Amino acid sequence: MPRLRSRAIVTLLLAAAGCRHVAPPEPLPAGWQVLVAAPRPFAALYRLSCCGYRDLILTVRAGDGRLALTVAVPPGGMAMAAWVEGAGGWLNRVKEGCREPLPRGVVPVSASASLPLDPDLVTLLLAGMLPPGARDLPELPGWVEATTEELLWRARVEGPEPHCTRVVLTRTGAEEPVLVADLERPLGYTSGVPTLPRGLSLVAGSVKAKLTLKAWQTSEPPSFPPWMSAPICGAKR
């Protein structure tokens, strides 16, 4: 059974990787463990294409297990805002002037589309880092895996300076991935640790999103946005 499961893992990852990794992958680069670290809180600005729209402006503030997101339509119209924590979050219904609760393990990328992730996983993914406990995957050289609360995280790590190039997330005990992410090279390195990737392409079921990094900086963890005082959608006023 373990051998059959190992073959299934290899088949799954190769299928998810597509033509990019048809050739036998290179082994893990030396020092890949530098990616197993908690990212510092940051603020980032992305160009976002998702859900039938292009050239949207996504801002992200991440840290301490919290996310503050906004999506704007140039030249400045607000399309969506969200506040997400480990236990759940809130979506700002801008046009309606109210806020709507979000279930745990959901991060919206638009008013009608979301990714099956929690804030900690989103922060790791955007930072190009690996979860605690990441270990090499002997069945497929060049890949590592880690188990989070409900998801199995597998990532392709390339070198010579270690950086993640692909992440495949599956539910524990399942084979079909819930999310596949391609990561571009980081902007640079600070003390051997990569900065944020230049861009990400995400596929989660029918949701496809492409993020291109425009600016980022370390910052304080996000605090409650002003719109959190808005009434709950559907509540009697």
pLDDT tens, residue by residue, 163-220:
999 999 999 888 889 999 999 988 887 766 777 899 999 999 999 999 999 999 999 9
- Asked if residues 25 and 143 have their Cβ atoms less than 8 Å apart, the reply is yes
Higher-confidence residue of 126 and 12: namely: 126
Question: Where residue 24 falls among pLDDT bands split at 50, 70, 90?
Answer: low
Q: What is the pTM of this model?
A: 0.86
- pLDDT band for position 139 (cuts 50, 70, 90): confident
User: Is pLDDT at 6 greater than 50 in this prediction?
Assistant: no
Between the alpha carbon of residue 126 and those of residues 120, 121, 122, 138, 236, the distances in Å are 10, 9, 6, 26, 38
Rounded distance between C-alpha atoms, residue 107 and residue 98, angstroms: 18
**Rounded Cα–Cα distance for residues 219 and 201 (Å):** 24
pLDDT at 19: 43
Mean per-residue pLDDT of the chain = 86
Instruction: Examine the pLDDT at 119 and tell me if it is beyond 60.
Output: yes
Cα 5 to Cα 14: distance, rounded to the nearest angstrom: 14
Nearest to 133 by CA among 123, 122, 147, 143: 147
